[in-house]
Chains A and B, each alone.
Chain A
Amino acid sequence: MPLLELRDVRAGYGDAVVLDGISLEVPEQGSLAVLGRNGAGKSTLLLTLMGFTRLKRGRIFFKGRDVSALAPHRRAQLGIAWVAQEREIFPSLSAEENLTVAAHPGPWNLERVFRLFPRLAERRANMGNQLSGGEQQMLAIARALMTNPGLLLLDEPFEGLAPVIVDELAGALERLDGMALILVEQHTELALSLTEDAVVLERGAIVHRARSGEFAHDAPTLERLVGLKIA
């Protein structure tokens, strides 16, 4: 049984349809890169998994359970953790409160996320709006981990960050010990190096599926589908 399964999902906002006919699976401990140009529906896919869009057709199963009709907070409690594109740190909470406010007991605790991101330990008393962009991204990922999820959804976690911070974050993602994740990313090369499987979205549909390792070397297809400049 896969950890996550989407069957023929059609979803959008109000009457608008953004995703159409999406079917995919993520196994336990699996990792999936979601690639595609701007506006292809990548963020909408993550929002649909969380229940923030209108599901018009299809089913979503998580841990074998149909979660299609569940409210977002119920899905989060079942173990889907979402790291939003804009990070969305709570400004009225300290860094430490951001981490503990929605925490769930499990292997990920304050001590362990501080080991993963030592900078956060230094900034634990700062308010959420006093952190740099990179620190906010670390905090957003750490906050999601504190809910001890079964599946981590990351929406462009490296966007707008300095290369040295990107390296630090990518290194941290490699040390998540097989936590299942879905990574939406514009840095195609990096995304493929962090995942096992990949899909490419175009106008709300999956147009290509590949193993990440093989896809990274398939320059013609990458260039055609993602419009990529690979070094």
Chain B
Amino acid sequence: MLGSLAGVLFDGLAYGMLLFLLSVGLSVTLGMMNFVNLAHCSFAMVGGYVSVSLMNRFGWPFLATLPMAFLAAASVSVLLERGLYRRLYRASDLDQCLLTIGIVFVSIAAYAWLYGTEQQAVEGFPPYLRGSLQFMGINLAAYRLFLVLCGFLVTAILVASLEYTRFGAKVRAAVDNQRMARGLGIDVDRTFMLTFALGGGLAGLGGSLAIEMVGLDPGFALAYLVYVLIVVSVGGLGSIGGSFAAAIVLGISDMAGKYYVPWLGAFLIYLVMVGLLMWRPQGLFGKR
């Protein structure tokens, strides 16, 4: 019983880390730039399919595809930002929702046409990530351990780059007061473009890491949008620490729900969300 509890906690933590990686980019763009980007998981899907293609068609090792997934999703998000999103920065939330949900449907149709609608089977996934280790009597799947490490690493890098670098200060200054930031010589458009690229790239990384744990098909862009929005709203807009905490809480409660109260199953995550938001409507670490 105790062993299974630890196992559930560990699996929940790994699942939470995956949710965190998928959603942290949205927390940055939605929370800091106030842009409602419902197509965030389409960027994740770009990363996922890039990894699948590189592995299956070109025989790349899985780890080498991760930076490419990041870069591809970041590039796609920059193209969309330059071409479409920036025109709607001052538009209403509804306009932003309509545009981005449209992009979701376009991306679903495009990937269904290119890759078919079935789940992608991955060949050549590295064996060292397939196995498991025993630790104090608990069975730890190697891949889940890897996800947890990735989550901590990304959190550390993000917090360091947004809180302690000059680039991060420029982003926060531009979000606080665009006109003053421009008046001091900060290139606000470029700053926002890079921020958007970072958010999109992280989604791509998340999408690529998600394949082995939850699978990949064209419905991904819509199916995971719900979870990502839950994580961001429970965590609090613009708070990286908040997204981290929320993703872990939601990941663990989802796993625990499926394991201990199967009749409630996947619904538990919504109850947790409702409870947390009634307790803290701004989210766990939300400022606004």
Contact = CB atoms under 8 A, between A and B. Distances in A.
Counting chain A CB atoms within 10 Å of each CB, which of B175, B182, B184 scores highest?
B184
A76 B180 contact: no
B93 interface: no
Interface residues of A, number: 25
Contact of B173 (A52, A76, A82, A90): A90
B166 A143 contact: no
Interface in A143-174: 143-144, 147
Interface stretch (B9-17, B185-193, B206-214, B241-249): B185-193
Contacts of A73: 181-188
A212 to B, nearest CB: 26
A84 B176 contact: no
A176 interface: no
> Which secondary structure characterizes the binding site on chain B?
helix
Bin the interface of chain B by size. Answer: 10 to 19
B186 to A, nearest CB: 5
A102 interface: yes
Nearest to A79: B185
Nearest to B191: A73
Nearest to B172: A92
Interface stretch (A5-13, A93-101, A180-188): A93-101
B189 to A, nearest CB: 9
Contact of A84 (B172, B180, B186): B180
Contacts of A92: 172-173, 175-176
Given A72-B179, A73-B182, A143-B184, 13 more contacts: A52-B179, A71-B182, A76-B184, A84-B183, A92-B173, A93-B169, A93-B173, A100-B169, A101-B169, A101-B184, A101-B186, A102-B170, A144-B184
Interface of B: 166, 169-170, 172-173, 175-177, 179-188
Interface of A: 50, 52, 71-74, 76-77, 81-82, 84, 88, 90-93, 97-98, 100-102, 104, 143-144, 147
